[in-house]
Amino acid sequence: MQRDGAAGDKDMTRRTVLTTTAAAATTAAATSPRARAAEERGCLIGPPPHPKGPLVFMDYDQIELDAAYDQSAYAPLGYQITARRASNSAETRRRIGNPRRESYGPTEIEKLDIFTTKAPNAPIFIFVHGGAWLSGEASGYHFAAENYINAGAHYVALDFIAVEPAGGDIGKMAEQVRRAIAWVHKNARSFGGDPNRIYLSGQSSGAHLAGVSLITEWTRDFGVPMDIIKGAVLLSGMYDMKPVRLSRRSSYVKFTDAMEEAMSTQRHLARINVPITLIYGTNETPEFQRQSRDFAAALRAAGKQVELIVVPNHNHYELQETLANPYGWAGRAALAMMGLKAA
């Protein structure tokens, strides 16, 4: 199933995305004072002007591919939304109180924040934050908690190691996320949660880590049921590491062939046995759009249960804010997957 704001989006190529985005930007520049001001200041969207270089992936040269995995190239004011997310999280804590903070592993960073709902034996919504694997923290995503606890679900935000302290190994990050999910299952009843109704979400690099969690050998590695996760809502994620490895991100992710294979969820479809909702915005980078489209197509071809939601006029940062709104694109999808209604 696919929902979007424009017909035929599933057939869009990277070049179509860029052409459509450019046309829309031109129209906006002609009508919007803000857009005209940005244009006059030289506010570029996409890769900088440059002579076309040798192709390194699909029809990208190196500069284009690097830009396609760099949010600042397509959302230059993203820092403003990041600041707003932090202030909204602080306001959430002021209104509903600080979360219960628990350790799920032996290191200092291995902690998670639990906002509990009043509903008994409630489902659990686990969120994995993004940040290009470099940054981010659970407290910056508290802004979404009220949506879930008001609807009758516990909201759990994870902290985990960043890639540089992990020595460039995103596998270590994935291992901590998996350990956190297993801890939630084993300890769910201690905070009124139903261990048989755990749902997973993530955004950007967090969606990547959440996706990798769906291909985990849970019983063998963590002693929990294989069907520990009942569904996933993944925003703006990456599911095949080949183009990421070819991009500038390989300057801090120390890819090997084994890491690329293990961390590419799309290459392990046989292990996926949960419904997945994939969401991306039409103002995202072309690669973050393509990654979700291709993953959705691969899941459909493999007979898996998947819904693709294409959100018009949202960039990478704007989309994550919709998690906090029961009538927003991501918030509505998450509540629907858990069988809950807006409070």
**pLDDT tens string 28-65:** 333 444 344 334 434 568 999 999 999 999 999 999 99
pTM attached to this predicted model: 0.88
Residue 83 lies in a domain: yes
In this predicted structure, the answer to whether residue 288 has a pLDDT above a threshold of 70 is: yes
Residue 59 lies in a domain: yes
Q: Which domain holds residue 272?
A: 2-48+55-337
Residue 110 lies in a domain: yes
pLDDT score of 7: 36
> Containing H/E element for 186?
helix 170-187
Residue 264 lies in a domain: yes
pLDDT score of 4: 55
Both structure tokens of 252: 């801090």
Confidence of residue 26 (pLDDT cuts 50, 70, 90): very low
In this predicted structure, the answer to whether residue 22 has a pLDDT above a threshold of 50 is: no
Can you spell out the DSSP letters for 256-269?
-HHHHHHT-GGG-G
Distance of CA 270 to the CA centre of its chain: 22
* pLDDT tens digits, 240-255: 999 999 999 999 999 9
Length of the chain counted residue by residue: 343
Residue 265 lies in a domain: yes
pLDDT score of 37: 36
* pLDDT tens digits, 207-228: 999 999 999 999 999 999 999 9
pLDDT score of 76: 85
Task: Count structural domains, the chain.
Answer: 1
pLDDT score of 43: 54
Can you spell out the DSSP letters for 20-44?
HHHHHHHHHHHH-HHHHHHHHTT--
Both structure tokens of 321: 């804010």
In this predicted structure, the answer to whether residue 177 has a pLDDT above a threshold of 50 is: yes
| Residue (of 161, 181, 182, 180) closest to 172 by Cα position | 161
| Residue (of 148, 149, 145, 153) closest to 197 by Cα position | 153
CATH number of residue 185's parent domain: 3.40.50.1820
pLDDT score of 77: 86
Query: How much is the average pLDDT of 70-75?
Result: 93
Residue 179 lies in a domain: yes
Please state, for a pLDDT cut of 90, what percent of the chain lies above it.
85
* pLDDT tens digits, 296-331: 999 999 999 999 999 999 999 999 999 999 999 999
For all residues of the chain together, what is the average pLDDT? 91
In sequence order, the 6+-apart residues with CB closer than 8 A to the CB of 341 are 151, 335
Both structure tokens of 164: 């540089």
Residue 167 lies in a domain: yes
